[in-house]
Every structure is written in C-alpha cells, then in structure tokens.
A and B are shown apart, each in its own frame.
Chain A
Amino acid sequence: MRRAHFKFSWIAAVLLAPQLLIIFVFFYWPSAQAMYWAFTLEQPWGGGNTWVGFDNFRKVLTDPYYWASVKVSMIYAFATTALSMAMALTLAMFVDRQLAGYRAYRVTMILPYAVAAPAVGLAFRFVFNPQAGVFSFLNTLSPGIWDPGQSGWQAVLTIILAGAWKHVAYSFIFFLAALQSIPRSLTEASAMDGARPLRRMVDLQLPLLTPTLFFLVIINLTDSFTDSFGIVDTLTGGGPFRATDLMVYKIYADGFRGFDYSGAAAQSIVLMALVMALTFVQFRYVERRVHYS
C-alpha cells in the first residue's frame, strides 16, 4: 500500500481542528480533571483541594462496597456477554441457514442496537414488573416469589437480561457476516464427508468463527463495563440494597449523589485502567489473530 505524505499546512490544521477539539473537550480534559480529583481532596471548609497522593485509591480499594460493586460488575459483564453472544450466534445461524422467517429476523435483529439504553431499561421495567410483567404469574403461584425490587439476585438477573438483549444486535451482525463469509463449498464438502448440520456447526463453523468470537467477547465485555449506566439507572437505580451497584453506576452515585468527587474520580480511573487493559488484550491478541489461509 502506498501512503500519501503531506507537508504541514494550515489546511491540514484546519481540517484536523474540529476532531481534535472534540477529543480534547470530551476526553482529555475530563480525564485530566478526573486525575486531578483522584489525587486531591476538597477541604471540608473550602480553600481549594489538597494533594493526598494515593489516599483516595486506598480508600476505594479497601471499601467492601467497592469490591461488591466490582464483583457484581464482573458477573454482569460476563453474563451479559455470554448470554447475548449465545443468542446472537443462534439467531445468526438460523438466518444463515435461511430457516423460515429469516428475512424478518434480519431486519428486526438490528433494531435493539438502535434503542437507547434508558429506553431499554424502561421497557424492561414493564416486562419484569412483579404485578404485570411476564414473570408476574410466579406471584400467583406463590406470592412474593418474583420481585426484583426486593430480591437482589432477581434485580441482577433483570439488568443482565436487559443488557444482553441490547447487545444481541451488535454481535448478531458480526456473526452473520462471518458465517456468510464461510465459502459454501466448505459446507458442501463437509456434507459430502457425512457431517450433519450440528456436526458441521461444531467442526466447521465455530472454528472458522473464532476470530469473530474473540473480537466480540472483548467488545461486549468493554461495553458491559462502560455502557450499563442507562439500564441500571432506569431499571433498578443500583438497588435493592446496592445489589446492582455496577462500577459505572457507583461512580455516578458516589460522585453526584454522595458528593464524593475524589472517591468517584479514583473509581473512574480504576475503571479506565480496566477498559484499557481489555483494549490492550484486543490489540495484542485479536488484531493479530490467527489467520487460516
């Protein structure tokens, strides 16, 4: 590939400026602010911030509530990722095999991705409502058996289902593209070799999907850590009793409800480090993934 080389010119500078400005205003500046807050503490009676070193981090990392939040975030991230990818893969295989109704799926599958997270949360509030939702029949069997407003694990389950539902579309598109790029003659060759559809899936499609699979795992994990705020906020508000207090949500709650800017800033630095680590894994292992041909 040939690359074009440009000399520095004011046109280049002008063309770059909007993008750089956006990155600066919405990423570097807030990040710098977060750094500042994370290493300082506002004095109780005013008079500006004082430098406190790693104190804020120490406080955060020794806080059992924080570790509870990390734990539930992990559970949420891995469960949503596993669930949404399993659903996406199944649906993509249906569409790929052109089973009945595949045209309808193909369109409708894209839709959830276009729905904003708070809207998803609101919708699922109705779905999981203990009086009128899909599980409300459980309460007619034994009153109070289903109530995500009271039961911690049920609340976690609801945000997992909502998050998974929202992520299905994205994975679905990638899976479908990957499946359709498997040459038809390979499928035919394995059919000639005696493999039934299920066997073909295991021996042929899944191995050929691994690069896509790996890519999607990383993307979905990252997304689950950072993009869960809207769902938690509208669906459970972090409750009951902090059961769904995911890391992003806790940052918001501690910072803007508890006015602990420094603690929240330290938490967001930790979250940023986590996301950066995941991104690193992606660049390191996924971008240089094994190629078969």
Chain B
Amino acid sequence: MAEIDIRRVGKTYGKTVIMQGVDLTIRSGEFLVILGPSGCGKSSLLRMIAGLEEISSGEITIAGQAVNHLEPRERGCAMVFQNYALYPHMTVAENIGYALKVAGVAKAQRLARVTDVAQSVGLSEFLDRRPGQLSGGQRQRVAMARAIIREPKVFLFDEPLSNLDAKLRVQMRHEIRRIHNRIGATSVFVTHDQHEGMTLADRLVVMNKGTIEQIGTPEDIYERPASTYVAGFIGSPAMNLLPGRLSDDRRAVVLESGPRIDLPGPATGLNPGALVQMGFRPEKASLTAPGRGTIEARFDFVEELGAGRVYHLRIEDIPVSLHSEAKMKLAEGASIGLDLGHQNLHLFDGQTGRRVPLSVEMPQLAPTA
C-alpha cells in the first residue's frame, strides 16, 4: 500500500509537449481510474509512474519516496499491459513466477506461490501451457497473476481489457475489482471506456490533451461535471449542451433559439448577458405533449436499446438526445415538448467551458458527527 503523489508533472517527446502541470494525489489503497480519449496522455502518465518513461519535469513520489530517478524494479509497481506482454517462450507457470525467479526466491517456495496465485485467478489447469496456446481471456489472467504474485504496493493497468469481447470484459472487470479489494494495493487503471471507468473507480481522473480536467468520484463527475468537456465525455448519450446568454437577473438562460429557461438558482459567478452553455442529461429530461414542456423540439429518429430508447431531436438546429422508456410513435419533423427537469440543469461558462456553480449547490451542510 502506498500513496502516489504526482506534482506538476510534465512530459515532452523531443520538442513536443504532450503533458503539462499534472497534479494528482492517489490515495493509499484507492482504485483510481484515468479516463480520456485516445492520445490524451493516459499511458504516458502511467508509464511515468511505472518508470518506463522518463519524467520530463515535476516529481512523482511513491510512499513518500521520490522515484524520478529510480529504475522500474525499484519502484514496487506491477503493471498489466494492454497486449499482456507475456513471455512467449515460457510456460504459464514460468511467466507467473518470473519476478520471483529474478528476485532469487527458492524454487520450491516459488512453485507454491505460483500454484496459489494461479488458483486464485483460475489458471491451475493451464500452468504447463505456453501463452500461444491460451485464449485472450486466459492470457489476461496470466498477466494479472504475474502482477499479483509480486504483492506490489501499486498496481498499474494500461487498458488491460480492451482486447477482450464485451462479455469477458465485464467479467474481468469484476474480477479486477475483486482482486483489488482482496489485496488492497493502490491501483491505477487507464481506460478510454467510460463504463469501465465509472464502474471500477473509487475516484476518476478525466484527462484532456495532457491536462487533468477533473478529479472526483464517479458520482461527482456525473452529477457535477467541471467543464463542457467532461460533460460531453461522460454519460451515454453524452450531456446535451445548448448555447445562450445569461439573463439580466442571472436566474435564467436565454437560448440563442429564443426561449428563456429558468435555472434552479442564480448564477452569481457570471455577469448578466454573459455567453453560457446550458446542459441537461438525456436520461433526466422527459418528453411531453407539444407546448407543455420547458422547450419545444422536433423529432428526428429513435434508437431502440431494449431497456428504453434514445430519441434524437432537434432544438432549432441543435441536435439533442433524450433517453426514455416511453414508447411513442412520432413522424419525422413532428413537434414535441421537452421537460428538462429543473434540478437537472447545468451551466457552463461560454468562453472557458468551466462549470458555473448555481447558488443552490452552495449550501452544503457539514456532516455532523
């Protein structure tokens, strides 16, 4: 168990700066997920923690010790790679036991540990096989076992599930969480799959182009996205955003398309008339009869999901989506009302894209002991 402290870390490859001023404290024993689109620097950050990539600026400490100049083997981290990186010429048992062999653990003891760990991930019957003779899911388990056997302070995962089929991915996801709970090491898990991130994480870090957009619990990030970027990245379908201006009393948004929409509280942080983006979640709004909702929309098409449907609509020219269990037959272009749900509205600064707190969010009572 170890706390990882990342202080003002930057990364450059040659002259290209790919990461700047990343600050992040990963608590001891926590399951932290780094989420972001392809190329945002997730792997680079993870590999800097692991010691596989040089830290260009800033400092990383693990359990209080600066690791910038430590070799990977001296950092106490184990890593599961996306392509598993199993040693092709070794058997499963040799793969799992390799770290112990390098560490000079006696053969009998090593074998006992390998047997134990293999059992815990359900690999007992495959110990004599080569990685080439295993299925994708089994290889994944070998990679896990190879990390587990070292009893590391820190587990690092770089998109370990992305090569598995959907069903196996869910299954392995549960297994990873179970292993984390059992072992209690600090885990850092990189993914671009928001479902994986939301379901696994104690805390989530959303990255964008080499910087951190938001750090918080999955709930935090879903309920209070810190920026339009996060709002658009989390949730499926993503949050709908409508451009407009803040009204003079700062209690409503006047959309570009005309209608005025009351906010749940005053946006005290912005000037009246400021450019804003108003957001609402597709699953929190509902359909109403024309003229009865907060706003009017036109029907485009519908996607059937089994458990509900996604209605694709247009508010003037802006496409929005809405998740609902209601089954309605609508003609293309038909007019329909939308009830946005007063408490469901989010407000973002139109220029910076940052979240604008509405005063109702402010009074947070300190928990009484």
- Residues of chain A touching chain B, judged by Cβ–Cβ distance below 8 Å, are 183, 185-186, 188-196, 199, 203-204, 207-208, 291-293
Are B103 and A292 neighbours in the complex by a CB distance under 8 Å?
A: no
Tell yes or no: B269 within 8 A of A by CB: no
Identify A207's interface contact among B86, B89, B99, B146, CB under 8 A: B89
Q: What 0/1 readout, one digit per residue, does chain B (53-87) give for beta carbons within 8 Å of chain A?
A: 00000000000000000011100011101010111
Number of interface residues of B (CB under 8 A): 25
Q: How far is the CB of B128 from chain A (nearest CB, A)?
A: 15
Q: With A191-B52, A292-B132 in contact, do A183 and B83 touch (Cβ < 8 Å)?
A: yes
Out of B51, B87, B99, name the residue touching A186 (CB < 8 Å): B87
Chain B residue nearest to A291 (CB atoms) is B132
Q: Which of A192, A204, A291 contacts B87 (CB 8 A)?
A: A204
> Is there contact, CB below 8 Å, between A195 and B73?
yes
The CA-CA distance from A191 to B83 in the complex, in Å, is 16
Which listed residue, A194, A203, A204, A291, touches B103 by the CB 8 Å rule?
A: A194
| Residues in chain A near residue B77, CB distance under 8 A | 192
A293 CB contacts on chain B under 8 angstroms? 88, 131-132
Q: Is the CB of A193 within 8 A of B99?
A: yes
**A210 shortest CB reach to chain B, Å:** 8
Neighbouring A residues of B73 by C-beta, 8 Å: 191-196
Q: Check B27 for interface membership: any CB of A closer than 8 A.
A: no
In the assembled complex, the Cα of A1 lies from the Cα of B79 at a distance in Å of 39
- The answer on a CB contact under 8 Å between A194 and B89 is no
B-side contacts of A193, CB under 8 Å: 73, 98-99, 102, 146, 150
Closest to B147 in A: A192
B99 to chain A: closest residue by CB: A193
**A contacts with B: majority SS:** helix
Q: List residues 135-184 of chain B with CB under 8 A from any CB of chain A.
A: 146, 150
Give the residues in chain A near B86, CB-CB below 8 Å.
189
Please, could you name 25 A-B residue pairs with CB atoms under 8 Å apart, sorted by A?
A183-B85, A186-B88, A188-B81, A189-B79, A189-B81, A189-B146, A190-B98, A192-B50, A192-B52, A192-B72, A192-B79, A193-B73, A193-B98, A193-B102, A193-B146, A194-B99, A195-B73, A195-B102, A203-B98, A203-B102, A204-B87, A207-B89, A208-B88, A292-B132, A293-B88
Q: Closest approach, in angstroms, between the C-beta of B107 and any C-beta of chain A?
A: 15
> A292 vs B131: C-alpha distance in the bound complex, in angstroms?
8
Flag if B99 contacts A208 (CB, 8 Å).
no
In whole angstroms, what is the CA distance A36 to B88 when docked? 52
**A residues in contact with B50, CB < 8 Å:** 192
A211 → chain B closest CB, angstroms: 11
Which of B85, B99, B130, B150 is the one whose CB lies under 8 Å from A185?
Answer: B85
Chain A's nearest CB lies how many Å from the CB of B207?
22
**Distance between Cα atoms of A292 and B95 in the complex (Å):** 14
Residue with the highest number of chain A CB atoms closer than 10 Å, among B79, B89, B131, B146: B89
B71 touches A190 (CB 8 A): no
Nearest chain B residue, comparing its CB with the CB of A207 = B89
Report whether B71 and A191 are in contact in the complex, using a CB–CB cutoff of 8 Å.
yes
User: Which residues of B (217-234) have their CB < 8 Å from a CB of A?
Assistant: none
Residue of A nearest to B103 (CB): A194
In the complex, how many angstroms separate the beta carbon of A153 from the nearest chain B beta carbon? 40
**A190 to B88 Cα, complex, angstroms:** 12
Other 15 A-B pairs with CB < 8 A, given A193-B150, A195-B98: A186-B87, A186-B88, A188-B52, A188-B72, A188-B81, A190-B98, A191-B71, A192-B50, A192-B73, A193-B98, A193-B146, A195-B73, A207-B89, A291-B132, A293-B88
B130 contacts A292, C-beta separation under 8 Å: yes
**C-alpha spacing A249/B44, complex, angstroms:** 60
Residues on the A chain within 8 Å of B71, using CB: 191
Complex-state Cα separation, A64 to B50, whole angstroms = 65
**Cα–Cα, bound, A270→B331 (Å):** 90
Contact B78 A190 (CB under 8 A): no
Cα(A204)–Cα(B85), bound, Å: 12
User: Of all chain B residues, which has the CB nearest A182?
Assistant: B88
In angstroms, how far is the closest chain B Cβ from the Cβ of A113?
30
B159 to chain A, nearest CB (A): 12
Give every chain A residue within 8 A of B78 (Cβ-Cβ): 192
Cα–Cα, bound, A183→B83 (Å) = 10
Q: How near does chain B come to A40, taking the closest CB pair, in angstroms? A: 53
How far does the alpha carbon of A194 sit from the alpha carbon of B51 in the complex, in Å? Answer: 12
CB-CB < 8 A to A207: which residues of B?
A: 89
Contacts of B51 in A (CB 8 A): 191
Cβ distance A21 to chain B, nearest Cβ, rounded Å: 46
What residue in chain A is nearest B88 (Cβ atoms)? A292
- Complex Cα distance, B89 from A191, in Å, reads 17
Q: Which residues from chain A contact B88 at a C-beta distance below 8 Å?
A: 186, 208, 292-293
